[in-house]
Amino acid sequence: MGAVELINPMEKLFRKFATQVSFWAGSPHVFVTAIAIVILWAACGPMFGFSDTWQLVINTSTTIITFLMVFLIQNTQNRDGKAMQLKLDELIRVNRHARDRFLDLEELEEKELDKLHDEFQRLQDEAEGKLKAVTAERLAREAKASDRSERNFVDPSET
């Protein structure tokens, strides 16, 4: 029996709904539609005398939509984050050179994460230093080779 079969129908329905709404809400069409609604609302302002009711319409609408979208988007983000974490955990688990202590980084305290960040910053700085040294060495060899080829070059028009 797989994990999908253990999900109750309500959770499955909410998951599908949240995913669809998140993708739909993030589309350019919805963004353009939202801008059009705001422009239409603003254009109606003079017709309604910029009344409190006119303002209340946009305030209430946006508040309700935002309130509901927070839950839908958070659900999608939680699932995406969990799926990404599981994929990374699997990669760490199968890589014999990886450190197993990275399997549950999300459970570490902030200070421990800061220590790891500092360690990786140091490793990055070392790698950048090595890269600069190798690049400088390669450029020096290329310049030297270029000088030699220029000295050995004989212009055919001079012979």
User: pLDDT band at residue 1, thresholds of 50, 70 and 90?
Assistant: very low
User: What is the tally of structural domains in the chain?
Assistant: 2
112/98 same-domain check: no
> Quick check: 113 pLDDT over 50?
yes
Asked if 30 and 73 count as a contact pair (C-beta separation under 8 A), the reply is: no
Specify if 136 maps to a domain: yes
Residue 158: its pLDDT value, please? 63
> What does the pLDDT average to over 98-120?
84
| Mean of all residue pLDDT scores within the chain | 86
Helix (H) or strand (E) holding 33: helix 28-44
Does residue 158 lie in a domain region? no
In this structure, the number of other CB atoms found within 10 A of the CB of residue 76 comes to 19
pLDDT exceeds cutoff 90 at 102? no
What pLDDT score does 42 carry?
95
Residue 19 CB partners (closer than 8 Å, separation 6+): 76, 79
53 within a domain of the structure (yes/no): yes
pTM summary value: 0.54
Q: Are residues 147 and 101 in the same domain?
A: no
With a cut of 50, say whether residue 116 has pLDDT above it: yes
Q: In whole angstroms, how far apart are CA 32 and each of 45, 47, 54, 68, 73?
A: 20, 24, 22, 20, 19
For the cut 50, the answer to whether the pLDDT of residue 117 exceeds it is yes
Q: Are residues 84 and 140 in the same domain?
A: no
Q: Are 116 and 67 contained in the same domain?
A: no
Same domain, 95 and 35: yes
Same domain (yes/no): 88, 46: yes
37, part of any domain: yes
pLDDT at 98: 79
How much is the pLDDT for 29? 94
